[in-house]
């Protein structure tokens, strides 16, 4: 047994960094604090790679399956003797895989930010928040039990809130951060309820116990039935709700595009590569339960994923803000992963989708981070987010251009780039389980290629825009990460995921199925071709198209008015029709009653003053009547 206890430092280091920068940051020199943060991340990256190597290649398997290793675990908060929140480190294929992804991308982003955020106000604050995020994200993936996951789940939420709102004097940024936090918070409510139901049935939070295929949690099947569905299904659906929120699946996707208000490195790290895939990770984490005792919930996952991917892809075709396009493409790609999980089964060849999803998560992290960082470089050079204001940039930003192109090809699924392999696995999985889902994904593949190259062409080719000052290629601190990530997204396709990361830890035999691969490549190329025709040179085709499909275009351009719907619900329903009435009711009815009691007393005391008339004889009269009344009362009535 290898000793993994050092892994505690992987989450702990960024935390200490956060404390240090948070408390003393404003005293240090900005540059120093930036370097500190980056250095910390560097160490973590090294540690993660070591861990990955040791885990995958030196830890012994039991009958060919990777084991879940609890590196260390201590009780943080005791609820009952069975239920207690532990903090610890759980190593298994997916968590180790996530370690690599997070540390790599995060490290790249840190380096990139050194250049990108230079001479920004609050430089040290930025790195403090980044460290906080890294801490939370690492803690999330290493969680040994679902409640630890929830804790860090909340923490990534808040760090994303802080980072989106980094430019806290910009109202739009503030609004976006608020939106992101509240929407995800609402989703997390579902997650929490799911946990409650789950723990009530299984009396444990621990992942290993929960996800053990032979364990009681699964063996007891669905548990009792409530409103037609087994309780286990309910809990899994609720848990998935949390995933939907974090991963910006429909209908909780609305926060992600606005989240682009944050600094671009943040978008690359949090809203493309790591945090938004937490939902996928969550489902993968609970996968045995989904697959074995809550298939209905798994179906929900599949359909939500499929719908989102299509929905987002359509919108992406119409947006003009680079980062928003990328945001929607992120949503659609994550939809892919969800779908892949949804169509997967536990163990054997059934598990193809699971493996594919993890595979795509990995590659997507690379190329999407690359895309965002590239976009960042572009924005940095042009000082604009809108591709309508760009064009012909290829001659000014060579490095960015090449890396961006690579990324686009990867996401379009052109062999032999990594995207091809992962997407192909997903399509295969979908094909074997449900043809309709496969069709959707197939279409989405085309759309993806189209909108990515729409983006690419109109930025780097298209019309030769005149810039009032010629754009400069970004400094090395920014280009180096681009290159590294480009390399990553080219070659990460050859990693044998089927041997490493599978649903049951065993090796999964899968080979490229040409009769799926070839069409997918073709439709990718088709998409590129269309984009080439429409955007290589500036042409009237797009506008004409937009004119012909006026309404469709308008709806897609306005993101199908989902935001407006939410706005209506929150502003109108919650504020106007609940809170204000409640406040009114409280002031006027509840409080009013109390005041009424008081005033009635006063009033009454005013009315009865006539008794005290000051007339001796009236007093005497009252006296006599009183006496006689008492006499009558006690002699005749109440004896």
Partner 1 sequence: MSPGTFLIMRHELLLIAAALSVLIAEIFWNPEKKKSISLFSIILFGVVTIIGFLPSPAGALFGGMYISSGARLLMKNILNIGVLLVFIQSVTWLKKEENVEKISEYFLLLISTVVGMNFMISAGHFLIFYIGIELATIPIAALAAYDRYRNKSAEAGIKLILSSALSSGILLYGLSMIYGTTGTLYFTEVTKLFGNNNLQILGFIFFFAGMAFKISIVPFHLWTADVYEGSPVNITSYLSVISKGAAVFILIIILFTVFPVIIATWQKTIFVTSILTMTIANLFAIRQQNLKRFLAFSSISQAGYILLGIIGGNQLGMASVIYYILVYIFSNLGAFGVVTAISNATGKENIDDYNGLYQTNPKLSLIMTLALFSLAGIPPVAGFFGKFFLFTAAAQKGYYLLVLIAVLNTIISLFYYLLVVKAMFIIKSENPIKKFRSDFPTRFALGICVAGIVITGFASIIFEAIRNLSFGV
Partner 2 sequence: MNSGIPVQYFLILATVMFFTGIYGFLTRRNLITILMSVELILNSVNINFLAFNRYLYPHKLEGMFFSLFIIAVAASEAAVVIAIIINIYRRFTTINVEDVNEMKF
Partner 3 sequence: MDILSLFIVIPVLTITAIIFLKDAHQVRLVSAFGMGLQLLMAASLVFLYLAARHAGNSDEMLFVKDYLWFKSLNIHYAVGVDGISVAMITLTSLVVFAGIFASWEVEFLRKEFFVSLILLATGVFGFFISIDLFTMFLFYELAVIPMYLLIGIWGTGPKEYSAMKLTLMLMGGSALILVGLLGIYFNSSPGGSQLTFNILEISKVVIPLPAQRIFFPLTFVGFGVLGALFPFHTWSPDGHASAPTAVSMLHAGVLMKLGGYGAFRVAIFLMPEAAHELSWIFIILTSISVIYGAFGAIAQKDLKYINAYSSVSHCGLVLFAVLMMNQTAMNGAIIQMISHGLMTALFFALIGMLYGRTHTRMINEMGGLMKVIPFLSVCYVIAGLASLGLPGLSGFVAEMTIFVGAFQHPELFYRIVTILAVSSIVITAVYILRVVAILLLGPTTNEHFEHLTDAKWFEKISAITLIGSVAAIGLAPFWLSTMIGTSLHPIIEKILALNPF
**Residue 539 CB-half CA count within 13 A:** 15
Q: Which stretch binds partner 3 (CB under 8 A): 145-153, 292-300, 360-368, 379-387?
A: 145-153
Q: Which stretch binds partner 3 (CB under 8 A): 146-154, 269-277, 494-502, 536-544?
A: 146-154
616 binds partner 2 (CB under 8 A): yes
Distance CA 318, CA 454 (A): 10
Cβ burial, residue 470 (10 Å; 0-12/13-18/19+): exposed
- Partner interacting with residue 601 (select from partner 3, partner 2, partner 1, none; CB below 5-8 Å by kind): partner 1
595 binds partner 1 (CB under 8 A): no
Distance CA 271, CA 179 (A): 14
Distance CA 330, CA 497 (A): 22
Distance CA 419, CA 493 (A): 7
CB neighbours of 235 closer than 8 A, spacing ≥ 6? 194, 195, 197, 198, 201, 294
Q: How far is the CB of 632 from partner 2 (least distance, A)?
A: 16
Among residues 518, 569, 620, 629, which is the contact residue for partner 2, using CB under 8 A? 620
Q: Which stretch binds partner 3 (CB under 8 A): 215-223, 281-289, 318-326, 580-588?
A: 580-588
- Partner interacting with residue 506 (select from partner 2, partner 1, partner 3, none; CB below 5-8 Å by kind): none
Cβ burial, residue 415 (10 Å; 0-12/13-18/19+): middle
Contact 525, 280 (CB under 8 A): no
How many residues touch partner 1 (CB under 8 A)?
Answer: 27
In angstroms, the first-to-last Cα distance of the chain is 92
Q: Which residues of 54-84 are buried (b: 16+ CB within 10 A; e: fewer)?
A: bbbeeeeeeeeebbbbbbbbeeeeeeeeebb
Radius of gyration of the chain (CA): 31
567 binds partner 3 (CB under 8 A): no
Q: Which stretch binds partner 1 (CB under 8 A): 59-67, 211-219, 401-409, 625-633?
A: 625-633
Contact 322, 379 (CB under 8 A): yes
Cβ-based nearer residue to partner 3, 26 or 537? 26
Distance CA 9, CA 620 (A): 93
Binding mask 551-590 for partner 2 (x = CB under 8 A): ----------------------------------------
Among residues 3, 58, 169, 617, which is the contact residue for partner 2, using CB under 8 A? 617
Q: Which stretch binds partner 3 (CB under 8 A): 387-395, 464-472, 485-493, 587-595?
A: 587-595
- Partner interacting with residue 633 (select from partner 3, partner 1, partner 2, none; CB below 5-8 Å by kind): partner 1
Count how many residues are written for the chain.
Answer: 639
Residue 90 forms beta bridges with which residues?
Answer: 70
Distance CA 316, CA 312 (A): 6
75 binds partner 1 (CB under 8 A): no
Q: Which stretch binds partner 2 (CB under 8 A): 23-31, 536-544, 594-602, 612-620?
A: 612-620
Interaction site with partner 3 (CB under 8 A): 75-80, 83, 85, 147, 150-152, 154-155, 158, 165, 168-171, 174-175, 178, 181-182, 185-186, 189, 192-193, 196-197, 199-200, 574-575, 578-580, 582-583, 586, 590-591, 593-594, 598
Interaction site with partner 2 (CB under 8 A): 609, 612-617, 620-621, 624
Interaction site with partner 1 (CB under 8 A): 601-602, 604-606, 608-609, 611-612, 614, 616, 618-620, 622-627, 630-631, 633-635, 638-639
């Amino acid at each position: 047994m290898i000793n993994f206890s050092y892994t505690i430092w992987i989450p702990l280091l960024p935390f200490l960094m956060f404390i240090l920068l948070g408390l003393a940051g404003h005293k240090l020199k900005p540059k120093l604090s930036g370097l500190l943060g980056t250095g910390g991340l560097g160490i973590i990256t090294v540690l993660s790679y070591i861990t990955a190597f040791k885990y995958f290649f030196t830890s012994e398997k039991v009958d060919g399956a990777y084991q879940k290793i609890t590196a260390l675990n201590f009780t943080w908060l005791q609820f009952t003797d069975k239920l207690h929140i532990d903090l610890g480190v759980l190593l298994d294929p997916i968590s180790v895989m996530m370690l690599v992804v997070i540390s790599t991308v995060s490290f790249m982003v840190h380096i990139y930010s050194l250049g990108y955020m230079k001479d920004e106000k609050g430089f040290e604050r930025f790195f403090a928040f980044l460290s906080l995020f890294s801490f939370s994200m690492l803690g999330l993936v290493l969680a040994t039990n679902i409640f630890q996951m929830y804790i860090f789940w909340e923490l990534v939420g808040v760090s994303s809130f802080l980072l989106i709102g980094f430019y806290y004097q910009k109202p739009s940024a503030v609004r976006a951060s608020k939106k992101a936090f509240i929407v995800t918070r609402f989703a997390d409510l579902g997650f929490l309820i799911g946990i409650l139901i789950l723990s009530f049935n299984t009396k444990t939070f621990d992942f290993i116990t929960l996800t053990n295929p032979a364990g009681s949690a699964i063996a007891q099947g669905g548990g009792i039935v409530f409103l037609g569905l087994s309780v286990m299904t309910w809990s899994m659906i609720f848990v998935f709700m949390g995933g939907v929120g974090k991963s910006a699946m429909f209908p909780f996707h609305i926060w992600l595009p606005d989240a682009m208000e944050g600094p671009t490195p943040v978008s690359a790290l949090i809203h493309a590569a790591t945090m938004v895939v937490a939902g996928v990770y969550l489902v993968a984490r609970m996968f045995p339960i989904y697959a074995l005792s809550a298939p209905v919930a798994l179906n929900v996952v599949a359909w939500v994923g499929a719908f989102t991917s299509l929905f987002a892809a359509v919108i992406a075709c119409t947006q003009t803000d680079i980062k928003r396009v990328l945001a929607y493409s992120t949503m659609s790609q994550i939809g892919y992963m969800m779908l892949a999980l949804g169509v997967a089964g536990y163990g054997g060849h059934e598990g193809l989708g699971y493996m594919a999803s993890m595979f795509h998560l990995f590659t997507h992290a690379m190329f999407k981070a690359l895309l965002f960082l590239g976009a960042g470089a572009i924005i940095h050079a042009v000082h604009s987010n809108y591709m309508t204001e760009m064009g012909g940039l290829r001659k000014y930003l060579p490095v960015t251009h090449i890396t961006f192109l690579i990324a686009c090809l990867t996401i379009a699924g052109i062999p032999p780039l990594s995207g091809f392999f992962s997407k192909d696995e997903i399509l295969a999985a979908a094909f074997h389980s449900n043809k309709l889902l496969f069709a959707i994904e197939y279409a989405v593949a085309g759309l993806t290629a189209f909108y990515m190259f729409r983006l690419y062409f109109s930025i780097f080719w298209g019309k030769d825009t005149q810039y009032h000052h010629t754009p400069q290629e970004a400094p090395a601190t920014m280009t180096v990460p681009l290159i590294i990530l480009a390399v990553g997204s080219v070659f990460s396709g050859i990693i044998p995921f089927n041997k490493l990361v599978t649903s049951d830890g065993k090796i999964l035999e899968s080979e490229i199925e040409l009769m799926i691969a070839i069409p997918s490549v073709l439709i990718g190329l088709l998409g590129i071709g269309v984009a080439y025709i429409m955007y290589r040179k500036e042409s009237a085709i797009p506008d004409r198209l937009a004119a012909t499909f006026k309404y469709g275009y308008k709806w897609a351009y306005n993101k199908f008015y989902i935001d407006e719907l939410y706005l209506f619900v929150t502003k109108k329903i919650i504020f106007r029709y609940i809170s204000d009435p409640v406040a009114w009711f409280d002031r006027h009815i509840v409080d009013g009653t109390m005041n009424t009691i008081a005033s009635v007393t006063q009033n009454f005391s005013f009315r009865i003053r006539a008794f005290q008339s000051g007339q001796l004889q009236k007093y005497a009269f009252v006296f006599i009547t009183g006496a006689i009344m008492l006499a009558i009362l006690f002699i005749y009535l109440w004896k």
